[in-house]
Structure 1
Amino acid sequence: MGRPELAPEQGPDGGVTSSPAPVGYQQELRRGVGSFASFAAGFSFVSILTTVFQLFGLGFGLGGAAFFWTWPLVFAGQLLVALCFAELAARWPISGAIYQWSSRLAGTTTGWFVGWIMIIGQILTVAAAAIAAQAVLPGIWSGFQIVGGAGADPSVGSPTGAQNAVLLGCLLLVITTVVNILGIRQMAAATSIGVAVEIVGVIALVLVLFFLPERGPEAVAHTTGWAGDGGYFGAFLASSLMAAYVMVGFDSAGELAEETHSPRRTTPRTILRALVLSGVGGALLILSGLMAATSLTDGNLATGGLSWVLTDRLGDVLGRLLLCCVAVAVFACTLAVQTSGARMIYSMAREGALPFHRHLGKVSARTGTPITTSVVVGVGAAIALVVNLRQSAIFTALASLCIAMLYLAYLGVTLPQLAARIRHRGLPAGVDETGRPLFSLGRWGLAVNTLAVLYQVGMTVNLIWPRPEIYDLTDGTWWLRWSALLFIGLSLAVGAAYFLARRLHRRIELRHVPHTHVEPPAQEAAAVAEPA
């Protein structure tokens, strides 16, 4: 189990005055992740093919064609967050990034609760990603609609579709768990291949749909397709769930930092690259889909989403071929989210911060990966699916809840980061493995950090707002409508009870000492020539 090393001394301005210190842990995980695989970890977590196909119909149904504008708004907000994370990834390239960054910025108690929220959010995100298979596979072959048979309604909002989504999701989780167990090189290879296929698929889809327009891009200036009552602003905010759900997980590159070559140089770049490429590609995909749909008012776009657009405009053969690219993206996305969650649990367990930490904190000598944590995340996601087997709102409720949890965890990093920035007038400086200055926002840091926090607070409130169209499709079950707040409150209560009980018995020993190291370990600096 990794042991911490002492921090360098700090000067009065928060800068480092002594010799550099390593990240504080013995190297147990194997460095098998290059720059593209690091980018792929973040890009496949975001996975615009998976998530846009999942929630396109929902976003359009809630806000009509004008829901497109939620995309650039969320992208701008998340870019602010990603810029803040890039600074931290360069300074603390450690597995369990969100937990580790929060611990070093705000103390181990705050860090523990942030990590706890992040673990639950990631497990729910794995479950939400896995049921994306239902949005794709029945469109490729009707035989994938196992529940109710080929003639049953495959929509995830229908009883047969929701139950089949759980079944397909559990089968997918078995596959991704096996790949995670095999080793980091196998996981990185699978994710990289999946991302390559996804990028090709996005380009092909956008080009094909743009060449089959039924209307011009001015369609997004109108609310065509929105069938709601009352003011539009509330509907617009609700439809932003789609964009908010898509553009998270870019921090996954930070989760693999201990397995990445030259992480101080590589990880900040791949975090930003994953989000920017996802933001541009997703905007084009949404716009092209709205332009190519044969109708915006017949209800098919809200119920069938982009899958309907493809098969309707391209025919069964070509449409299904492109849906196969989406299916690969769903696999890569689920795999990446599960890997990220496994590393978060491992990072906390090796410090004795979780139950059964001696088992969860072990790294397999054969594969160089934490096998037990991969299994725990897979089983936890499967349980989240099974308990919702007969709940037709499983898709929308899980999507909104898991993203709300991740936004809360992200806020547990950027808010302490803002406080540290104000207190020390910036973050520690230093150099990466090549001797170049670490990624820094410089004079723009305070403004970017402040705006990031304000955006996160607003979006978190928006995501947990008790909307019946998100959390209660029965429109009459009060606890479903308030399930987000109830679940978050219960999660925090359970976490607090465990934390306090273990602290009283002095069994939680968060063994790392928050430190402000800024230089790479000597062995890393000597390995600059390693292939990235």
Structure 2
Amino acid sequence: MTSTATTPPPVPPPSSGGGDADDLSEFGYDQQLHRSLGKFASFAAGFSFVSILTTIFQLFGLGFGFGGPAFFWTWPIVYAGQFLVALCFAEIAARYPISGAIYQWSRRMGGEVIGWFGGWFMMIAQIVTASAAAIALQVVLPSVWSGFQVIGDDPTLTSTSGAANAVLLGSVLLVIVTTINCVGISWMSRINNIGVTCELVGVVAVVLALFTHAQRGPDVVFDTGIPGQQPGYIWAFIVSGLMAAYVMVGFGSAGELAEETRNPRRVAPKTIRLALTVSAIGGGLMLLGALMAAPTLDEQLATGGLPYVLDSVLGSFWGKVLLCDVAVAIFICTLAIQTACSRLMFSMARDGRLPFSKTLSHVNERTGTPIAPAILIGVLCIGILLVNVGNSAIFATLASVCIILIYLAYLSVTGPMLYRRFQGWPTDRAAVDAEGKKLFTMGRFGIVVNVLAVAYGTFMVTNLAWPRAEIFDPAGEMPILRWAGPICIAITVLVGIACFPRGKEHPKPVTSPIVDRVDTSR
């Protein structure tokens, strides 16, 4: 393997002459992607990746089933931990506004090996996550109209016909989002913006409906429920926190689209924090409203989850209207994940760090889009969907394990960043963005926040990967799945070692001194 760098690179100041394109050229890259995204589009990329309307709709029962109503408190706890990570991301996004954020950030902080594996983990995780998002259509569309159940009569995701139909619906969705990503970032941005607006309206509507039909007060969040009647509730509480951990990821997507965003040094740091915070507030209100409005707080709520509550509150017609909004959220979630993954793959290929890099790094001049990565990701996602036909338990396990890889990718940034802080990073205290405003920095709180972010990330990786039968093998039919976390991480690392570009010099190595070059004349 190539040796890792010993010092992070300089942070070039934005050029006063050529704007964002000249700013990018300071890192050694040409402006190939079309730079057309504004503030809302940047925010929408992160918000649609988190997609609280989709994920809480799917995972409410998971959290409630393990922790009872008091599982609500895992939501603000996970948000607090992820916000620490978001602050670190915001600070580094202001200094390295380059596509392939996790890969570019981790290699600049930790060197080529750490950077490559950070990008590798994130890329694999995003491909699996896009498949998991696409398959969620099966949970929604057949409930809206029976005609969406094309194969067989049983829409249940774990049934033979339901699994096959899920692959069909998911594949159609992936073909559509792949086509959009091939057409260009402008179309992707317009569609994503409309979808995010619909999702925000849907979230507000759900929250209002739940709170206006409340059957109990907000003190319900102190009720530990059935799990609280057993000894060792803290363990049940920790397990219930996986629900929030599954949801609040992907907020850094604004960094992935930095080369397509106007003034990314200023916009990306803001939208990274905003996407996570808006998701946390909206999701928290949805959880609280559901607990207050639920007809019962028993096994039926754990099994039926949020759909059960909304059906009792809204009735059949408005329930179907909301399901249509959830379908829109699933659509834009899949679109956002694939877009972020294609930019990550493009960024690594542009540096010659992937097989077939020349093809994967090609940008269509007319659309300003890397088409090959989008197509490859779409094909790989459909291939992963097929696993659900063979064994839905394995697919569900893969969807859970991919979140571990995301947290590992995050650690590949925050861990080396902490080391660099002890060396004096960041030193560009006077650096400014394209508007002449100071870059975002945590100042003297940086080390404290960074330490806590690393500690939180380490805890969550351990918690997510812990071999639990109730998470990875609830049916008790495949005990080996309990160890899916460590096994999949090991396999991902081994395949990564096989794909790692050994013996190839990086075209833009990270070997510059720690003292950043800062333009203080402006």
TM-score, normalised with respect to structure 1: 0.89
Q: Distance in 1 between matches of 2:426 and 2:466?
A: 35
The alpha-carbon deviation at position 165 of structure 1 amounts to: 3.0
Kept in 1: contact 2:12–2:26 (CA 8 A) = no
From 500, 507, 512, the counterpart of 2:508: 512
Name 1:335's counterpart in structure 2: 335
Name 2:377's counterpart in structure 1: 377
Name 2:195's counterpart in structure 1: 194
- Confirm whether residue 89 of structure 1 aligns to residue 85 of structure 2: no
Instruction: Render the CA deviation track for 1:165-200: whole Å, top value 9, x for unaligned.
Output: 333222211111111111000001111111000111
Q: Aligned runs of 1:326-405 on 2, under 5 Å? A: 326-394=326-394, 396-405=396-405
Amino acid at match of 2:302: A
The alpha-carbon deviation at position 246 of structure 1 amounts to: 1.0
Instruction: Render the CA deviation track for 1:72-124: whole Å, top value 9, x for unaligned.
Output: 11000000000000001000000000000011111112111111111101111
Name 1:109's counterpart in structure 2: 113
**Cα root mean square deviation, aligned:** 2.5
The alpha-carbon deviation at position 479 of structure 1 amounts to: 2.2
- Confirm whether residue 285 of structure 1 aligns to residue 286 of structure 2: yes
Instruction: Render the CA deviation track for 1:347-376: whole Å, top value 9, x for unaligned.
Output: 000111000001001001121100110111
- Confirm whether residue 46 of structure 1 aligns to residue 50 of structure 2: yes
The alpha-carbon deviation at position 400 of structure 1 amounts to: 1.9
Change (3 A) 1:9 1:219: closer
Kept in 2: contact 1:420–1:427 (CA 8 A) = no
Q: Aligned runs of 1:266-345 on 2, under 5 Å? A: 266-297=267-298, 299-345=299-345
The alpha-carbon deviation at position 473 of structure 1 amounts to: 2.6
From 125, 141, 146, the counterpart of 1:121: 125
Instruction: Render the CA deviation track for 1:122-141: whole Å, top value 9, x for unaligned.
Output: 11111111122223223322
Name 1:449's counterpart in structure 2: 450
| Length, aligned pairs only | 503
Name 1:490's counterpart in structure 2: 491
**SS state of the match for residue 290, structure 2?**
helix
Amino acid at match of 1:471: F
Change (3 A) 1:388 1:357: same
The alpha-carbon deviation at position 234 of structure 1 amounts to: 2.2
From 134, 140, 144, the counterpart of 1:140: 144
Kept in 1: contact 2:388–2:395 (CA 8 A) = no
Q: Distance in 2 between matches of 1:303 and 1:79?
A: 30
Change (3 A) 1:355 1:246: same
**SS state of the match for residue 475, structure 1?**
coil
Change (3 A) 1:353 1:304: same
Name 1:528's counterpart in structure 2: none
Name 2:20's counterpart in structure 1: none
Instruction: Render the CA deviation track for 1:197-242: whole Å, top value 9, x for unaligned.
Output: 0111101110111000122211121122549965222222222121
The alpha-carbon deviation at position 64 of structure 1 amounts to: 1.8
Q: Distance in 2 between matches of 1:214 and 1:412?
A: 45
The alpha-carbon deviation at position 296 of structure 1 amounts to: 1.6
The alpha-carbon deviation at position 8 of structure 1 amounts to: 11
Change (3 A) 1:371 1:144: same
Instruction: Render the CA deviation track for 1:444-468: whole Å, top value 9, x for unaligned.
Output: 1010000000000000110111111
Name 1:25's counterpart in structure 2: 29
Change (3 A) 1:497 1:53: same
Change (3 A) 1:230 1:386: farther
Kept in 2: contact 1:146–1:164 (CA 8 A) = yes
Q: Distance in 2 between matches of 1:8 and 1:306?
A: 46
Name 2:415's counterpart in structure 1: 415
**SS state of the match for residue 344, structure 2?**
helix
Amino acid at match of 1:41: A
Q: Which consecutive residues of structure 1, in runs of 5 or more, have no partner in the other structure? A: 1-6, 526-532
Q: Distance in 2 between matches of 1:432 and 1:323?
A: 42
The alpha-carbon deviation at position 497 of structure 1 amounts to: 2.2
**SS state of the match for residue 95, structure 1?**
coil
Name 2:460's counterpart in structure 1: 459
Amino acid at match of 1:128: A
Change (3 A) 1:425 1:263: closer
Name 1:530's counterpart in structure 2: none
**SS state of the match for residue 91, structure 1?**
coil
**SS state of the match for residue 33, structure 2?**
coil
Amino acid at match of 1:62: F
Deviates most, 81-90 or 133-142: 133-142
Instruction: Render the CA deviation track for 1:18-71: whole Å, top value 9, x for unaligned.
Output: 998723200000012111000000000011101111111222222221211110
Q: Distance in 1 between matches of 2:191 and 2:455?
A: 37
Kept in 1: contact 2:138–2:155 (CA 8 A) = no
Name 1:58's counterpart in structure 2: 62
Name 2:4's counterpart in structure 1: none
Q: Distance in 1 between matches of 2:150 and 2:133?
A: 19
Q: Distance in 2 between matches of 1:289 and 1:139?
A: 20
- Confirm whether residue 258 of structure 1 aligns to residue 254 of structure 2: no
**SS state of the match for residue 305, structure 1?**
helix
Q: Distance in 2 between matches of 1:72 and 1:342?
A: 31
Amino acid at match of 1:55: L
Name 2:38's counterpart in structure 1: 34
Q: Distance in 2 between matches of 1:57 and 1:518?
A: 51
Name 1:80's counterpart in structure 2: 84
Q: Distance in 2 between matches of 1:8 and 1:99?
A: 14
Amino acid at match of 2:107: S
- Confirm whether residue 69 of structure 1 aligns to residue 73 of structure 2: yes
Amino acid at match of 1:464: A
Deviates most, 334-343 or 128-137: 128-137
Instruction: Render the CA deviation track for 1:259-287: whole Å, top value 9, x for unaligned.
Output: 00111111100101101100000000111
**SS state of the match for residue 388, structure 1?**
helix
Amino acid at match of 1:82: A
Q: Distance in 1 between matches of 2:227 and 2:160?
A: 24
Amino acid at match of 1:446: I
Kept in 2: contact 1:62–1:228 (CA 8 A) = no
The alpha-carbon deviation at position 159 of structure 1 amounts to: 5.3
Kept in 1: contact 2:8–2:109 (CA 8 A) = no
Q: Distance in 1 between matches of 2:262 and 2:12?
A: 26
Q: Distance in 1 between matches of 2:229 and 2:365?
A: 57
Change (3 A) 1:519 1:250: farther
The alpha-carbon deviation at position 423 of structure 1 amounts to: 1.2
Deviates most, 34-43 or 167-176: 167-176
Change (3 A) 1:175 1:321: same
Q: Distance in 2 between matches of 1:44 and 1:469?
A: 29
